[in-house]
């Protein structure tokens, strides 16, 4: 969701010139998961997104695939805006992401970092998550994969996972890891959240930063991570939900509010009002977090 605010900020605050990416390229294994979830805890309605887990030799990165999948669309729109010096409402061209965060697990110690934006600031905090898995003898074919069953408790929910030793990565979607093979399927007991592996591919020239990440950096939306704690992040995020455009208002003068977006009849004030409504509607319709408690899982018994 907050990725789209970055696109909006680009139109308002084009601050920097193009920079060549110096990011080194490497090989990665990309695993696609179909995530089925219940956005509202008091509703039977289910929603679906595709999430990705990118695994390199040094780490893995989990994120919603919605924005990376639309990189080419965003690239065309941004290049047109740069060429014509006029504003284009990118929100009308692309699908809204439901989850804006990334979860990075560093190998081999599996140190987890949670990354997410609040306004124009990218925050990151270390999340010391360890799982007490109960590996069972039950086996099952999940799609094309031979899997084995395991259970655990995490974030106030009971989870059942199916992992495959045929895929030699002790990793999985979201924060899950620690089984002797990749997690192919995992869901909580009430089926609020369910991930199922739907495909994978080898990426020879993998880049961690998407085009959206790069264009945000180009136009002043910093990609530098501001270290914080989970408690401080959750407090900042709660304030953001209450007033999603608070930071933007600090940058926009009263005179600017009546100015029209370049090449458009829409004023900056009207666009901000629209963005605020989109954000508040989104938060109202999504109130069922994956973790319903901040209780840390029991450390694995020796």
- What is the block-wise mean pLDDT of the chain (302 residues), using blocks of 10 residues? 44 34 73 96 89 96 92 82 75 78 95 90 92 97 95 97 96 98 97 96 88 71 85 90 81 83 79 81 83 57 38
- Smallest CA-to-CA distance from 210 within 220, 218, 201 is with 218
299 lies in some domain? no
Q: Which residue has the tokens 């608070």?
A: 246
pLDDT at 97: 77
Q: Is 143 left (phi over 0), alpha (psi -120 to 50) or beta?
A: left
What is the domain range of residue 58?
2-11+26-284
Q: Per the domain annotation, does 80 fall within a domain?
A: yes
Count of structural domains, the chain: 1
Helices 71-84 and 2-12: crossing angle in degrees, nearest 10, is 10
d(CA 50, CA 195): 9
290 located within any domain: no
Is residue 293 situated within a structural domain?
no
Residue 87 lies in a domain: yes
Query: How high is the pLDDT of residue 21?
Result: 40
Q: 198 lies in a domain?
A: yes
Beta bridge partners of 60: 55, 105
For residue 117, list its beta bridge partners. Answer: 122
């Amino acid at each position: 969701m907050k990725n789209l605010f970055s696109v909006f900020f680009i139109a308002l605050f084009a601050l920097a010139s193009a920079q060549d990416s110096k990011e080194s390229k490497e090989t990665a294994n990309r695993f696609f998961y179909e995530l089925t979830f219940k956005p509202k805890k008091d509703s039977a309605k289910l929603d679906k997104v595709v999430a990705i887990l990118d695994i390199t030799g040094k780490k893995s990165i989990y994120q919603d695939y919605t924005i990376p999948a639309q990189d080419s669309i965003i690239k065309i729109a941004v290049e047109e805006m740069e060429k014509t010096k006029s504003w284009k409402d990118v929100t009308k061209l692309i699908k809204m992401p439901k989850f804006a965060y990334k979860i990075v697990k560093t190998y081999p110690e599996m140190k987890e970092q949670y990354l997410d934006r609040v306004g124009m600031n990218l925050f990151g905090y270390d999340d010391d998550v360890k799982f007490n898995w109960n590996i069972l003898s039950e086996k099952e074919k999940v799609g094309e994969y031979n899997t084995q069953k395991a259970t655990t408790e995490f974030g106030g929910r009971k989870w059942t996972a199916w992992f495959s030793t045929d895929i030699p990565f002790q990793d999985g979607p979201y924060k899950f890891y620690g089984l002797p093979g990749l997690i192919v399927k995992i869901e909580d007991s009430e089926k609020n959240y369910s991930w199922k592996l739907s495909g994978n591919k080898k990426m020879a020239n993998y880049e961690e930063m998407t085009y959206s990440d790069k264009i945000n950096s180009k136009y002043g939306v910093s990609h530098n991570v501001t270290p914080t704690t989970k408690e401080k992040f959750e407090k900042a995020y709660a304030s953001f939900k209450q007033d999603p455009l608070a930071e933007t208002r600090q940058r926009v003068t009263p005179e600017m509010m009546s100015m029209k977006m370049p090449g458009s009849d829409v004023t900056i004030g009207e666009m901000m009002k629209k963005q605020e409504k989109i954000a508040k509607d989104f938060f109202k319709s999504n109130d069922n977090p994956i973790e319903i408690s901040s209780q840390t899982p029991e450390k694995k018994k020796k």
